[in-house]
Amino acid sequence: MQNLFAPGGPWATPWMERVAPFVAALVEHAPERTIFTRFIPPQTKESARGIWKLYYEKWECVTGDRLAPHWLNLIPALARHAPPAALIDRQTYCAFGSGQLDALLKQKHVNTLVVSGGETDVCVLATVLAAIDRGYRLILAQDALCSSSDQSHDALMNLYTQRFDIQIEVASTDEILGCWQV
């Protein structure tokens, strides 16, 4: 939920405006228990690792030396909550990639994650699968997830609810907030 993916951003995600109020509602319920992760591209395409070099050959416009810093910020509706919300930067799709998220969750004795944001079929997918591997209980806020592809989003939501029905719960923001005691 960064400016990078907002309307007008280099990687605009069409649904972001529609899901932002739902993400904000989750954050506002417990900002001190919120963890934002930001996708931070490398400074240059040459500094990217492995296959990411090829990726940034195509997307050189979003490398650090080409991208205005404000694009990396959280959208304003969420940025005002950090702090108290924690902020973790990452250079991979998976929020667990650097080890910082797992360490913070362990420090806070967290066993359940409510996941929202984007993209359903990229960063959310990578993070959700890693969270399953780590044994976390997962609740996906179905109306607080977005993607740049309707087809991929729908396919992933089917995968999450059918293939991973034991490991992933899917609920609306209202249902989550109705059960969530702070």
3-state helix, strand, coil in the chain (%, to 5): 40, 20, 40
For 48-91, the pLDDT digits (tens) are 999 999 999 999 999 999 999 999 999 999 999 999 999 999 99
Q: Considering the chain, what percentage of its residues have pLDDT values greater than 70?
A: 99
Indicate the pLDDT class of residue 109, thresholds 50, 70 and 90: very high
In angstroms, the CA 178 to CA 66 distance is 44
Give the Cα separation of 145 and 127 in Å (integer).
13
Q: Is the pTM of this model over 0.85?
A: yes
Percent of the chain topping pLDDT 90: 97
d(CA 177, CA 23) in angstroms, rounded, equals 11
CA separation for the pair 119, 15 (Å, rounded) = 10
Q: How far apart are CA 114 and CA 173, in angstroms?
A: 10
Selected from 3.40.50.150, 2.40.50.140, 2.160.10.10, 3.40.50.850, the CATH number assigned to the domain covering 3-179 reads: 3.40.50.850
- State mean pLDDT over 153-176: 96
Mean pLDDT of the chain: 96
Domain ranges for the chain, please list them. Answer: 3-179
Contact 138, 111 (CB under 8 A): no
Return the pLDDT at 181.
Answer: 83
Yes or no: say if 80 and 36 are a contact pair by the CB < 8 Å rule: no
